[in-house]
Structure formats: C-alpha cells, structure tokens
Structure 1
Amino acid sequence: MAPLRPHLPDLPVRGVLAELAEALAANRPVVLQAPPGTGKTLLVAPSLLGAPWLAGRRILLLEPRRLAARAAARQMARLLDEEVGRRVGYQVRLERMTSAATRIEVLTEGLLVQRLLNDPGLGDTGLVIFDEFHERNLASDFAFALTLDLRRVLRDDLRILVMSATIDTRSVADHLGEGSRVVGVADRAWPVETHYLDHPPSDVVPLPRRMAGAIADALRETAGGVLAFLPGEGEIRRTAALLRTMPLPDAVDVHPLFGALPRQAQEAAVAPAPSGRRKVVLATSIAETSLTIQDIRIVIDCGWMRVPRFSPRRGMGRLETLRITRDRADQRRGRAGRVAPGVCYRLWDEPTDRQLAPQALPEILDADLAPLRLQCADWGCADRADLPWLTPPPDAAWRQATALLHGLEALDDDGRLTPRGRDMARLPVHPRLAHMIQRAAEVGCPRRACLLAAAIEEAGADPDLRYETDARRLLDRLDGDDERAGKGDDWVRRVHLLARQWGRHFPSADRQAADAGRLIAWAFPDRVAQQRGRAGQFLMVNGHGAVIDETDALAGAPWLAVAELQDVGAEGRIRLAAPLEPDQVQDDFAGQVRIEDVVRWDRREERVTAMRRRRLGALVLGEGPLREFPPDAMLEALCEGIAAKGIANLGWSDAARNVQARILLLRRVFPEEGWPDVSDAALVQNLVAWLGDALADCTRWEQVRRIDLCEPLLALAGSRRRLLDELAPAFWRLPSGHRAPIRYDQGDQPVLAARLQELFGVNETPRVAGGRISLAVHLLSPARRPLAVTSDLASFWKTGYPLVRKEYRGRYPKHAWPEHPV
C-alpha cells in the first residue's frame, strides 16, 4: 500500500508545510504567498493527505486553466508514483479522471461553482485550495465568495487555503476573517537575471518582428529553452512565421501555446524537448502561472496583455490590449527560474517599468455578469450584497445582467429565480444559450439547440470557423451521422460531446425542425436585427446599430439574429449571425410587439403626419396612416414644428409685435408685479399655453402662419388686459381728437409719431407706465415726413420749433405755423 504522505522534494515551500498544517488543523483560513517555482502547487496538497481533520474527505485544488489543472494533477500523481485518477485526479470541461480512491482533485474554478450549486454542502470535501488567486478571474472570485458563504452558514469545518505569488495577502486575510493566517515563502527556487531595453521600443517596428528578433538574439546568447509572452494568437502566429524565415541555431523547435489550440498541441508545447533540441514556446497569458515547462531558462516578455472588457450599456464585449501590470510581469519572469537559474528579457525600458500599475483589475469589474447573476439567484441571493465578495460586482453590470435575465424569463420582478430560470441554471452554459435550449425543448427541437449552443461556444477553437459569420455553416458541418465525431474531426467530436452532455435530460431525437436564425433569436432576443436600407447596416431590437462587411453573404438579409457582436466603436461588428424570417419574428415575439401611434412634424412637407406602427423594441414591423389625429399628440407635433421653424417665422403683424413689446415694457418697469415673459425665447418654451387654442384646427405650417398672434398674446396677460391698456396704451389722443398709435417695438423708448400741427397746445411730453416712461415724439410734416425727434416737447417749442418753422412754412404755406404754438 502506498504511503499516505509521499516523500517531498526539497523545494522552498517545504519549509512552511508544518506551519500550514498547524494552521489548517486549528481550522484557521490561510493565505500562502510563495514566489513562482517554490513548489506550492506541487507540494501543499500532497503534504496534507494524512491530516486527521480531513477524515477521508477530499482536497479540491482550483486552477484557473484546464492546461494547468491537467499538468498539476500529472505532477502530483508522479510524486505519489501513481497514475492520474488514483489518489490524484482532475476534472476539466469534457474530461474527468477521478475514482473512488481520489483524495486530491484538481479542477477549474467554474466547475467548483457548478458543484456548489448542485451540492451546497460540499459534503465530500474537507479543504478547498485556491491556487494562483492573484489572477482574480470571474470564476475564482465567485467560487471564493460561495465557499466563504458555505463556511459561514453551513460548513464551519471546511478549510480554506489561498495561494499566490503576488497577491495582496493582507487584504485577502482580512476578508477571510478573524483568525486567518498569512504564511510566506521568501526564497526563490532559482535566481532570475532581468534585462531591459536601453530605450523605449519603436512603434514603427511591429511587435511580432521585435519579438522574433529578441528570440533569435536570446537563442544565440543564452542556453536553454525560450518562453516568449505575446498578447494573443494573432501575434503568436505572425511571430512564428517570422522565425521560420530567420537563421536560427540548429535543433530549435517552435511551439505556439494559446487557449484555442487543440489539447495535443498544448501538451506538446509544455512537454520536455527531445534530447539535443531546444524549445521556443510562443505563449499568451495561459503560461503565466502553475505550468512548469521543463527546459525553459529564458523568458522574453513583450510587456502587453489582452483582456476582455464588457460594456453593460451596450451589452457587448471587446478585447483590449493593455500594458502589463507589475504582478503579472513578475509572474512571467518567474517562469525562467522554475528548474534552474534563468534570464528574463523585458521588451521595455526601466522608466516604463517604474510606471507599471501594481496589479491587474479583477475580472469581475469588466465582465458580463449574466451567468454569475443567474447562479447567484440559484444560490438564493437576489441582491449582490448577499454574498461576501472580495470585490463586489459593479452596480451597472449587475443591473444590466438582472434586466437581461428578466427578459429571458429567468428572474421574476423581485430578482428571484423563476421555474424556467431554475431549469436554465442547471445547464452549464451562458443564460442566453440556456434559454435557447429551454425554448427549443418546448417546441420539440432541443437536440438541434444543444448542437448550435455547443458550436457557438467552440467556434473559436477551430481555425477554419473562427471567422465564420454565418451560423448555418456551423450546423452544416455538424450534420450527418454522429459516427463522424470520432473520425478525425476534433471540433465535431467536442461539439457532439458537449451537446450530448447538455441534452441528456431531453429526448434524444427532435420532433420538429428549427433553423439557426430562429434558435439564435431565442437566445438573443435583444439582437434581432433589421436592415436599415443599406447592405450590411442593421438596427437591433435594443436600439443599437450593428454592421457586417457589405461583401458578406449575410449583408443583404432583411432580418438577422445576431449571436456574437464585437464592440468596436459606435456600432457593433457582427461576428456570428443567421437570417431570420419576418413571420418568425411575428410569431415568436408577438407578446412583445406593441402598437404605437406616432404623430410628428414632417419637416420636409411642413405638416403634421400620423402613423400607427407595430414595434418590436426599436424596430418597426409595419405602419400605416392614422386617420384621426389625437389632439394632444397633434398639438405636441405642431409645437415641435414651430420650434423647428423658429418663432420669428410665425405670421407676426406689426400689431402683434407691439402687443408683445407693451407687455415686456411693463415687465421691465414693474418687475415685482409678475407680468408674463413674452420674449421669443420664453414663448418657444411655452408654446402650448400661448398658442394651444389657436392651433386647434391646424395641421400645416401655412395654417399656422395665418394665426393672428395678438389675441393669444393678450390672453397671456389674463385679467390684467385692462391694466395693460391703462399703463401701456396702444394709442395717444391728440388735441385734435385723433388717436396716434404708440409703437413699443422700436427700442427701449416707445415712439409717438404725429404731424407737428396736431401737437400744437401740448407743452408736456406724453408719458406711459404711470408716468415713468416718456415717449419719443416723432414730429412729422403735413406730408408725414420726419421733421424732428424729441423727448422734451417744452424744450422743443422754445428752441427747435423756431428753426423748423423758418425752414418749412414756405414749403407748406396752407398749414398753420403760429409763432407761439403752445
């Protein structure tokens, strides 16, 4: 029988194993900080196999990636001199190697979440180890919160151990609560020499070319294998292509390593190099943690990382390339010192290094929270404050996820799980795809839906399908006998395996057909899209625009259901979609179609138009003329038209402008008396109160222009109309008995214009506004031509009149020109 505790190799973490065992035996949560290469992933779990408090229960070791989980299980099994699946096993997506004898199980964090939801007590587990916790991906943060909640409520005997090389241990320990313990490993396994550029890299030289040159130099100058970090698959492929054209040393093998690679290619990248050969591994962040690649002595870090970002407002995700952070740069450097002294070349200069941000942001701050929100509801949490988050989910993303799940009928109005939502939560897929499968099951085509869901999730793993935009082609590749799944097409095999796993509770055969567009619309009802009159331009139900290359076969489709959308600017770029028939939209979303009467001002025709529309969100399904105009809507449209045309373009008469000016004068002179503001700026803001009654029979601009504006203006004065006539009269009675109009719209001073002879006998200047404002008197000739302007008649009669009399009495001898006119 194998010993319960193995003989452990002499790695730095071995010095703190007793301290760890003591703290865990006392049921104290522990945070272990240990640099890369110190043996924490390899040694900690096996060292605890004989702990009495385990009482035959398992240790769960969580890894952030499938490749790391398989590698950790293999290394620990080798330490125990056993095959994987005995005392050490693992579970990753589509793959499980465990047995009744398994005491250490390595799995990814997302699988722990599913396990907790299915078995909230986690009864067969005594210890949960969160390895590489500094990565702070969404699944690890959620699994951590659920595990803490479980320990707090049901399992106070459940031990928790958090391990990382670069995490802020104090904040994690504080979050774990009173009694938590921090244990540190100070020594590295092997020293790593770090080199920087002498100056910032030139943007003129593309990153793949800079990396290829650095790899070629390192291979000539330094012994051992090379691990080169690049942001993504595109840069890896371009760097590999450049290396194939360069004069590298003999016996060098180049291996790509990224998440979408087939498992066999990933395993080849991390396997030891054949004797006499050197290995160059071009990797994304997949190789930052947990993996020990035996031959690596050199790390070349490009200094960039690619991270997903999600916009709650637009409901779309995008990939951003960002400068590496300090913690992740240290993780990458540590890969060079795992098995021997190493060298790290950083493709940036030291001033740039000093400016690196200390830590990457937790993924929970920038992620699509719909899956997490559904799983929270399944756990019994309707509010985000119900769980002990290390970093709480952002409010905007939480609300967006809640709204989406409510639209998918997974949550009720209180944010709690509906029966449909409970069924959706049982499926380990995004809630959108889970909703599609449930709807398909109701109409008799769950198998087709499971196949499409699996194809969508796995499309990025196949180079031939990664840039496919038509979802129908994914299904075309899958159609045929399932036997094909085991005969060389790895992508087909994986998709069928996933589809069978997700569909095991549904009938094995569909009783009804469903095309890809209809299925996708059930998953993405907010992304049903209607062409906007130009090929490749679409408007979606949610009101956002979406585009696809106009040369794409889907660009001419009247309707699309969009499965994948990339946030690349003002409008999302369609990455995967399928045509949709209009009658399918009508049938499947009949309950969401609303009737809307649209009364608006037509600027081109300058009239009110009224239409009855059938709408699905932002999309118009159909419309027709509305025979009767709803009065309130018509008035609102007319006011919109008047505002657009401008107040000044109404049918203003001189009399109307004078009424306006009279009221404004009194408002200025008597501010305390509350005369209404009838300026153009105020009137346009108060069109309904001003012109509402006058617009009752109008529908066209020409009718609006014919409205006499005097009465509506006087109506604004209300009960003060008589006072208006007293304080700002429209006319002045002359000694002759005639009435001369007073113009109030000529400036700040009202104007009285009359023939000079009609003012004989008037010595005092006429005044208005209770005597506060004198009139500007325009004295006219008998032919009503201007003679003089005065605001002081008494002075004019004395000094101005004699001069006027002398000049004009000869021109107008039939009219009186007395020497003493007063």
Structure 2
Amino acid sequence: MKMPIDAVLPELKHALQQHRNAVLVAAPGAGKTTRIPLALLDEPWLNKKKIIMLEPRRLAARSAAKYMAKTLNEAVGETVGYRVRLETKVGPQTRIEVVTEGVLTRMLQSDPTLEGIGLLIFDEFHERSLQADLGLALSIQAQQLLRDDIKILVMSATLEAEPVAQLLGNATVIVSEGRQYGVDTLYRPRSNNIKIEDAIPSVIVEALNNHEGDLLVFLPGMREIRRVEERLLRVLTSTAPSVRICPLHGSLSMEEQDAALSPVSKDQRKVVLSTSVAETSLTVEGITVVIDSGLSRVSRFSPRTGMSRLETITVSAASAEQRKGRAGRIMPGTCYRLWSEEEHTALSPRTSPEIMETDLAPLLLELSLWGVHAPSELNWLDEPPNAAVQQARELLIQLGAIDSANYSATPHGRDMAVLGIHPRIAHMLLRALPLGSGELACEIAIVLSEGDIVKGVNGNGRAIGADLRLRVEAMRSTSDRVARNRYTEGVRRLMRLLSIDETHTLASTSLQDCGLLLAYAYPDRIARRRDNGKYLLSGGRGATFIGEQLLAQEQWIVVADVDDHGADSRIRLATPINFEQIMLQQTEWISEETHIFWDRESQSVRARVRKKLGAIELGEVPMTRPPADRVLIALLEGVETEGIELLPWTKAARQYQERVMFMCLHESSWPDVADDALLATLGHWLAPYVEGIKSRAELQRVNLKELLESQLSWEQRRQLDQDAPTHWTVPSGSRIPIDYHDKEAPILAVRLQELFGMAETPRIAGGKVALTLHLLSPAQRPVQVTRDLASFWQQTYFEVRKDLKGRYPKHYWPDNPLEAQATRRAKPPGGS
C-alpha cells in the first residue's frame, strides 16, 4: 500500500547520502515510523550496518517492530527486532532494532563508538522525553569525536524543525504533508465541578449512537481508565452488548495491548480507553472517532522541595491536534473535545520538554558515566535547569553513585546504571542483596513503578490506604489473574536481572524489612513524627497523612510517594521503619555535627556532638575534647554577643583605653581602641591571649590593660606617658589623676587651694590641649569649671573667695592667690 511518506523518500535518501544528519517532519499517518527504516536499509552509505530507531514508549517500540516484520513476512527478531527495558527480541540477522531511548543510552555507555551501527533514528522527537534529549546529546558528541560516519535522523509529526536542524549542524529539513481525511470537531465542554470520568461516558454513548467505527478515548491515567471502564460496563451491557472495552496503557501485558490495537470482528465495535501513549506512532486499527478529555498526567519535579509529583495538566494545542488526527487515518472521522472553542484558543502551543520539568537524577548519573561533569559540556536543545541539576547531584552523592569532589561515577554508581532503572530503585535493589532481601526489594520496586495494579482492598478485605506493606500483600493475594501475573512477571524479571534464585515463593517472604529497603531508595524521606501528629522528613520537608491512617501512629516511617503542595506535603505511600534499623546505618545516613557555641545562660563555651539524620536531630552528648581553635571562635562570638563589658574592665584598663583614644584623636597613626573597634578586631588583639579560656569567670584572669598596651609600639608607650599622663602634679605636691573620659576635653578635678601659685592652665599633648579644670571646694564640690586659669584668678576668684570664706571660714583664702602657698590642708604649713 502506497503511503504519503513515499513521496519524500528520494529527497531523504539524497540528503543522507550527502550529509551526516537530517530532520524529517511528517504529518500523522504519513507512515514515517514503519516505512523509513525499511526504505533506508539497503542504502550504499549504510554499508550493511544496523539501523537503531528510538521510540519514546515501549508499547510503540513493540508495535512498530511487529508491523515492519509483518511487512517483510517475517517474525520479530529476524530482520527487525526490538529492545525495551527488561525485554529483547533480536537475532543474529537483525538489521533494524527499535529501542526505547534508555536502551540507546546503555548502548552508548557500553560502546561509545556504536560499532556496527550506521544510522540512529529519533522518532516522535516532538515528545521531548528526557531520555530522547539525553540520547541525542550523547549521539551528537559521539558523532563529533568518535564516529564521523554515523548518521542521525530526527523525525517528528509536530516539531519546530529549525532548532533541531541547527543543533545537528544545520541539517537538511524534509517535510511530508501526509494523508489525512477530514475530521469534524465537536466541543462538549464539561463543568469544572464534574470529574472527567463522570462526564466522558455520556459522550461515548453519544458517539456510539451517532457514528460508525471504533472509538479512541484519551484519558489522563490508569485511575480514570478504570473508573470509565466500570461505568461503561454498567451502561453498555444492556444497551450495546456488542461493544468491547479495551484499556490501553504502558503497564498492560502484551496480550492486553494487542487486544486494544487489533481490529475486532465485524459484528463488534471497540472503545479503546487510552493514556497519551496512543497519541503518536501506534496504529489503533478501525478508529473513526476520537474523544479527548484534554488532560494528560505527567511527572513534574519541584526544585523547591526536591520531590516529583504526578500532575494532571491540560494538553497543548499540538497534542490536541495529534489526538484528533487519529480519527482520520482510514476515513473521515469525528473528534469530540471536552472543552470549549474559547478554551481551545488559550491552549499552550506545545508541551514543555520533560528535561525542564522532571527529576534529573537518572540524567546526571548517565552524564557521570559518560565522563561529563556538567551538562553544559554537551549540546542540548534545552539545557537542564541548574536548580534541578544541583538537587540531582546531591541525591546521587547521598546514594553513593557519584563522587562529591568531581561528580564522577563510583563503582556503585556504575552498577546502579547497568540496571537501567531510576537510581533510587537501583540503589535499593543492590543494597538489598547482601541482606538476603533481594526478592522483597524486587516486589517493592514493582509496586513503586507499576502503581495501583490492584484496587482498594487486599485479599482479606482490608483497606490498603497508604501502607506499602498492604500494597505488597494485595499484589500477592489479588484474585485478579491479569494483575497478579503482571506483578509476578515484573518481579521475576528483576530477580533475573539481579541473578536471584527465582524458585523462592514470593508470598512467603517476610515484610519486616520493607522500611529499611524503602529507606535505601528514599534516604531523604525517612520521617519522624512530631508532637502535632505530622512528620518531619529527613530532607527538611514537613508531611502529613490524608485522612485516617494506621501509619499515622508510627514514630518513624519512610515515605515513597508524597506531593509538594502547601507547607506540609501529603503522604500517599509509606511504611514504618524501626529506629534501631536507622541507627545501624550510621555511616550511610547518620551524620555527626559538632556544635561549639557560647551559652548565654551559663556564660561559657559549650561543646556538643549532635547526631542528625538529615534535618532530623537525633540527640546530642557533651564533647570531651573540643578543638581549641573552635573553642576560641565560640569565646570570641560570646564577647561579640554579650558586648565588650564581658571583659574584665578594671579602672586602670579603662583609663588606659581612654588615654589611647585621646592620642588617637590627635594622631591618626595610633590604633583605634574604642569599644566598637575592639569588638570588630577581637581576633587581632584578644585572641592570642585567651586560648584555653572557656567562660566569663576564666576571662577575669586576663589583664586587659596589658593587652591594650601590647597594641602600642615602645615609642608610642613612651609618648603616651609623656603626652597623656595619668596624673598631674599640682603646686601643693599632690598627684591628681586626669580623667580622659571626654577625650576631647580631659578633666583635672582638684581643690582650688592646691592650685595657689599656679598662673596658667596645665596643658598636655605637647602643649596642644589645655586640661579642663574642675576647681573644687574643701568639700570636693565644683565651684568653677575653666580651661583658662589665669582669667579665673583675675576675674572670678574674688567672687568665689567671698562665697567660700563664708562657708569655710577656718580655711585659708588669700587675697593674692598667685603669691599664696598652695595647701592640701585648711591652712598652709606654718600658717595661722
């Protein structure tokens, strides 16, 4: 059968003959996925090498390989084969391998030269999966550095071709218009208060009544698929018994997937309930009607919390067109949209690339294995965001997958990467093996990766809730044969991957290590119960259970599934863990933090050793021999906290400080010893003299005056004694202390009678500063303040004398103070 893509095959062949790379944009239904690899298989430049074609989804990879093999009248595994995670169908004669992107990454990591491969095809690249972006970045570097003969072809139905072409070195862009029958669009907007699973069954019934052919219904996820299936079974059993309901999503068995993709008998009609897996690549035969919920469920990573969450989003305009196009493959069709025309005009043009939204731990582990220390070393269509990159690094370091110094992969990280699953789960599986808990770890891995295969109760009728143990029990005991088989086969595949004896009976495996194993996968989500019943995760986030949960009484739990909404995330899946199991992982999970600090209550330095599980404090004990340098730092911090008054300021120390401050005022070369300056320079002048001191009481032994003296040179000390003396000898012979508290106007407080005979005001600082004289009465009370003693004797003394003589008649008050003898007593020596 001729396909629209056939028209551009000559142009594509010529482009790849002349250049290394090309970009092909082909409309849905053009036949690019199944036609292109076969058409290029015998090109001379391929030289009998293999073609590797990447598909974003396992279901599409299997389907495309089967279709091409059927075209050649061969079985899968002959000329055409496929490789998906944990499943391979290739043979020695296989020339075309359809693989999922993670498989290409493994191929590149094991052989960067891709020996024996001549062409890499990236199909449906517009989906922009994380592994597709990574695979293309690694392939481009391998082409540039190791294999300039290998060719790269990027294919898509809805893609802005120019940025990709530029990334590929200005590659040729080829466009195929494709073949598409007309599709009528009918809008059936639903109210916001009506759930999609409640609104869509009536639209399905309407479509069955008004149109011929089979229906493809797009729903956001498995939960909605199950609920719509239940409602349809009730409605259609009596009204349309010939209608067959077929779920379609990536978690189904191959038999279930084939049932959804294959045509039904002439007397039957088919309603396929699908996730976005059917948007591209897959051919669902017989479809003439598409019913689009307009929703998709994606994983979104939050750098703010370090957590991923499944988020239901509105599809982009490009996705809506892809979905609509599925109705026009074989004949004119109809598309029902559960939103309004106005809402359609507001849709985002394209879905954001996964690399901008998701957990980057798998990406960073692959880069470390590739030898790249930072994403910026590769060429990307969109470079990964820095915040998510940093959090991914921190997780991988915590899991022991990469080295903290240069982010290179450790031997353990290499073992994790070989498993081809998320680093968290890979770490759990590898750590479980030495414990003899490999089987249980495989079961937990399947529960985490497959989601809710079983419904709300286990085999005993108990509600499952958020308890991981009950989920495992429910998987083991479910009466749903399909779910049990899928679960068992998934576990067995992992056991084979880990070389675990498969003869064990899973149901007999104890669940007591569930918490420990889950903690290996989520060491940042070990949680302790708070007094208010909520939990603190070791990663620092708060969390709480939704509704009544028996687990909410547990002191310690490990959280596997949690959202990141609000102040406290909501716990959706968890299991208890024993504190003893946590403490046994000292080297892996528990950190010791020495806390040496100034304790204001005891006025001393305290040293403690704190044990912490991430953000959770487990307790502390005194530290017997704290490092002297850290004790000194804490002591100085105490001085800063309490203020300079914490130090032993004697009267002599304060006077010395004030004298130096006086000299500093007049000569800039002198050190600043004001309180603020001293606090700012404790490490310079105080630290050398207080080593070993831990408390305020011990500080009292420090001679602060000597410490201040040590800041001065010998010449400055001599000059200080000369220009800022501690005392001044007055005519009476007394040595009177000088008060330097006011450094701009030092004070000499002296009894008036002791200055008789002194004509001028005493001066200091080499004569530059006159002392401020506080002239005192015999009772030591000021009677005059002056800086001009000569003027006082001439103008003011006689008035003061009259007053003092009246109050102190027994004292000596001469008529001429400049000729009188100074005295410390009431009368001068020999006086009468």
TM-score, normalising length: structure 2 = 0.76
- Superposed, 1:199-238 pairs within 5 Å as 206=192
SS at match of 2:430: helix
Partner of 1:317: 308
| Corresponding position: 1:295 with 2:288 | yes
Relative to structure 1, the CA distance from residue 688 to residue 411 in structure 2 (aligned partners, 3 Å threshold; closer, same or farther) is closer
Partner of 1:727: 723
Q: Distance in 2 between matches of 1:188 and 1:662?
A: 98
Q: Distance in 1 between matches of 2:289 and 2:397?
A: 50
The worse-fitting range, judged by mean Cα deviation, of 323-332 and 812-821 is 323-332
Relative to structure 1, the CA distance from residue 300 to residue 528 in structure 2 (aligned partners, 3 Å threshold; closer, same or farther) is closer
Structure whose alpha-carbon radius of gyration is higher: 2
Partner of 2:161: 169
Partner of 1:669: 666
Structure 2 unaligned spans of 5+:
458-462, 819-832
Partner of 2:829: none
Relative to structure 1, the CA distance from residue 572 to residue 660 in structure 2 (aligned partners, 3 Å threshold; closer, same or farther) is farther
| CA deviation map 1:651-677 (0-9, x unaligned) | 545554443333333333322x1x333
Relative to structure 1, the CA distance from residue 491 to residue 310 in structure 2 (aligned partners, 3 Å threshold; closer, same or farther) is farther
Shift of 1:45: 3.9
Letter in 2 for 1:23: A
Relative to structure 1, the CA distance from residue 118 to residue 597 in structure 2 (aligned partners, 3 Å threshold; closer, same or farther) is closer
Partner of 1:635: 632
| Corresponding position: 1:749 with 2:742 | no
SS at match of 2:53: strand
Partner of 1:371: 362
Q: Distance in 2 between matches of 1:799 and 1:245?
A: 120
Shift of 1:289: 3.8
Instruction: Select the residue among 650, 665, 677 that pairs with 1:682.
Output: 677
Relative to structure 1, the CA distance from residue 626 to residue 144 in structure 2 (aligned partners, 3 Å threshold; closer, same or farther) is closer
Partner of 2:778: 782
| Corresponding position: 1:136 with 2:134 | no
Shift of 1:308: 1.7
Aligned residues: 796
Partner of 1:519: 517
Contact 2:218 2:291 in 1 (8 A): no
| CA deviation map 1:363-410 (0-9, x unaligned) | 334544443344445556667577555455566666665665566555
Contact 2:197 2:227 in 1 (8 A): no
CA-based RMSD = 5.4
The worse-fitting range, judged by mean Cα deviation, of 653-662 and 584-593 is 584-593
Contact 1:90 1:106 in 2 (8 A): yes
Partner of 1:44: 36
Instruction: Select the residue among 401, 405, 426 that pairs with 1:434.
Output: 426
Instruction: Select the residue among 489, 492, 496 that pairs with 2:487.
Output: 492
Letter in 2 for 1:492: Y
| CA deviation map 1:21-52 (0-9, x unaligned) | 33234464210123445543454345446656
Relative to structure 1, the CA distance from residue 255 to residue 610 in structure 2 (aligned partners, 3 Å threshold; closer, same or farther) is same
Q: Distance in 2 between matches of 1:268 and 1:726?
A: 108
| Corresponding position: 1:181 with 2:172 | yes
Q: Distance in 1 between matches of 2:796 and 2:226?
A: 98
Shift of 1:80: 7.2
Letter in 2 for 1:143: G
Shift of 1:77: 6.8
Relative to structure 1, the CA distance from residue 693 to residue 59 in structure 2 (aligned partners, 3 Å threshold; closer, same or farther) is closer
Partner of 1:110: 102
Shift of 1:16: 1.9
Shift of 1:137: 1.7
Relative to structure 1, the CA distance from residue 96 to residue 692 in structure 2 (aligned partners, 3 Å threshold; closer, same or farther) is closer
Relative to structure 1, the CA distance from residue 92 to residue 696 in structure 2 (aligned partners, 3 Å threshold; closer, same or farther) is closer
Partner of 2:2: 8
Q: Distance in 1 between matches of 2:382 and 2:234?
A: 47
The worse-fitting range, judged by mean Cα deviation, of 495-504 and 545-554 is 545-554
Shift of 1:643: 2.7
Q: Distance in 1 between matches of 2:229 and 2:786?
A: 94
Shift of 1:425: 3.1
Q: Distance in 2 between matches of 1:452 and 1:647?
A: 61
Relative to structure 1, the CA distance from residue 342 to residue 663 in structure 2 (aligned partners, 3 Å threshold; closer, same or farther) is farther
Instruction: Select the residue among 590, 600, 603 that pairs with 2:600.
Output: 603
SS at match of 2:159: coil
TM-score, normalising length: structure 1 = 0.76
SS at match of 1:295: strand
Shift of 1:436: 3.3
Q: Distance in 1 between matches of 2:400 and 2:555?
A: 28
Q: Distance in 1 between matches of 2:760 and 2:225?
A: 97
Relative to structure 1, the CA distance from residue 741 to residue 39 in structure 2 (aligned partners, 3 Å threshold; closer, same or farther) is farther
Q: Distance in 1 between matches of 2:773 and 2:249?
A: 91
Relative to structure 1, the CA distance from residue 214 to residue 521 in structure 2 (aligned partners, 3 Å threshold; closer, same or farther) is closer
Shift of 1:535: 5.2
Letter in 2 for 1:170: E
Partner of 2:823: none
Contact 2:440 2:509 in 1 (8 A): no
Relative to structure 1, the CA distance from residue 759 to residue 332 in structure 2 (aligned partners, 3 Å threshold; closer, same or farther) is farther
| CA deviation map 1:690-725 (0-9, x unaligned) | 444765675444554786644443444464334333
Q: Distance in 2 between matches of 1:662 and 1:245?
A: 99
Shift of 1:182: 0.9
Relative to structure 1, the CA distance from residue 263 to residue 98 in structure 2 (aligned partners, 3 Å threshold; closer, same or farther) is same
